[in-house]
Amino acid sequence: MKKKIGILTGGGDCPGLNAVIRAVAKKLILEQGAEIIGIKDGYEGLVRNNYRKLSYQDVCGILTLGGTILGTSNVANPYRYACKKGDKTEMKDISQKVLKNIKSLNIDGLVCIGGDGTLAIAYQLYKDGAPIVGVPKTIDNDIRGTDITFGFNSAVTIATEGIDRIHTTAQSHHRIMIIELMGRNAGWIALHAGIAGGGDIILLPEIPYGLDVIAAVVKERYKRGKRFSIIVLSEGSKPKGGSVVVQRFVKESTIQARLGGVGFMLGEQLEKYTGLETRTVVMGHLQRGGSPTAFDRILATQLGTKAALMIEKGEFGYMAAVKGNKLVSVSLEKVAKGPKTVAEKHPLICSALSIGTSFGS
């Protein structure tokens, strides 16, 4: 019997999503003659039974394409779904309807490609009977159970290029330049791009900063003839004893707070404290857009083919992952335990400290 497999992409878009869709579909079509359907707009497509068939031709030529050909949603959660009643919105559990819809699709497996929010929902759906395999996606690199996620390398590459460009203005104008990067409550992007871009001060959510410490580093550099400083900070960074800066709340979303703005706050405070001209640049969604790097294309292809293999073997309730230089499967239960953050004694932090980089603490 010909197998029928569904694929969905959930959460924020990310370079490499199409490369995974391509890899899963091509392997299953070529090796199993499987029929592939693409669920549109993440879990929203399961709520509305909105999907399309994906032929071999449909997944050709998408390896280098950013975003997702299936569309995505970072608010649709079957266990907490926003239902409108007049002008009021009620959050309802409509998972039974979604599970019924999955059944009616007659699929033998469903590949859910997403970040921690999407994969936590995938785990719940799996526990409720859906045949799900996960693939870890996020520029934030904060998914438990895998060393790395696809999208991260692309984001770090874009952010590093941004820091390089900011460097020239910082140097020419003798300014403090602050570059705010994404990553939510994990500092992976800022840590990697900060080191790759030669940041003088790197601020991470995991290490609360002191304004006085940052000011002292900047002034010391000034004394040594370095009349500029580059501060790379993660959007989830916070001062000692303080809290994160929230840009907006998306109340329908599984993870409701959208962070952003700490760079401007710090810039204003630092300019007052030091008397040195300070400017802030927020890299924002540029980090998520466009074509994946060669590294991410390869990683996405590997994770996609691993997920296809797991579907063939019926390894449901698991996620394709990377451990060392091996592709492995880890249980979605482990993944759903929350984000993976940067350890304070991470080797990259130690080596950056040893060359004089400050982490603001």
Residues of this chain that bind ligand F6P (CB under 6 A): 12, 74, 115, 138-140, 182-184, 235, 258-259, 288
| Helix, strand, coil % over all residues of the chain, rounded to 5 | 40, 20, 40
From residue 345, how far is each of 92, 141, 271 by CA, in Å? 42, 18, 30
Residue for token pair 């998520």:
288
Q: Are 303 and 18 in contact, with CB atoms under 8 Å apart? A: no
Smallest distance from ligand F6P to CB 165, Å: 20
Q: In terms of Cα–Cα distance, which of 110, 122, 109, 38 is closest to 77?
A: 122
Task: Give the active site residue among 140, 142, 200, 296.
Answer: 140
Q: How near is the Cβ of 12 to ligand F6P at its closest, in Å?
A: 4
CB of 258 to ligand F6P, least distance (A): 5
Residue number with the smallest Cβ distance to ligand F6P: 182
Judged by beta carbon, residue 139 or residue 148, the one nearer ligand F6P is: 139
Q: Is 212 an active-site residue?
A: no
- Closest approach, Cβ 26 to ligand F6P, in A, equals 27
Give the count of beta carbons closer than 10 Å to the beta carbon of residue 107.
22
Strand, coil or helix: what is 163? helix
Q: Which is nearer to ligand F6P, 123 or 228 (CB)?
A: 123
User: Which of 109/117 has CB closer to ligand F6P?
Assistant: 117
DSSP 8-state assignment for residue 9? E
Exposure string over 142-174, b if 16+ CB within 10 A, otherwise e: bbbbbebbbbbbbbbbbbbebbeebbeebeeee
Give whichever of 140 and 315 is closer to ligand F6P, judged by the CB atom: 140
Residue 306: count of CB within 10 angstroms of its CB: 23
CB of residue 189 to ligand F6P, shortest distance in Å: 7
- Closer to ligand F6P by CB, 115 or 292: give it: 115
- Among all residues, which ones are annotated catalytic? 140
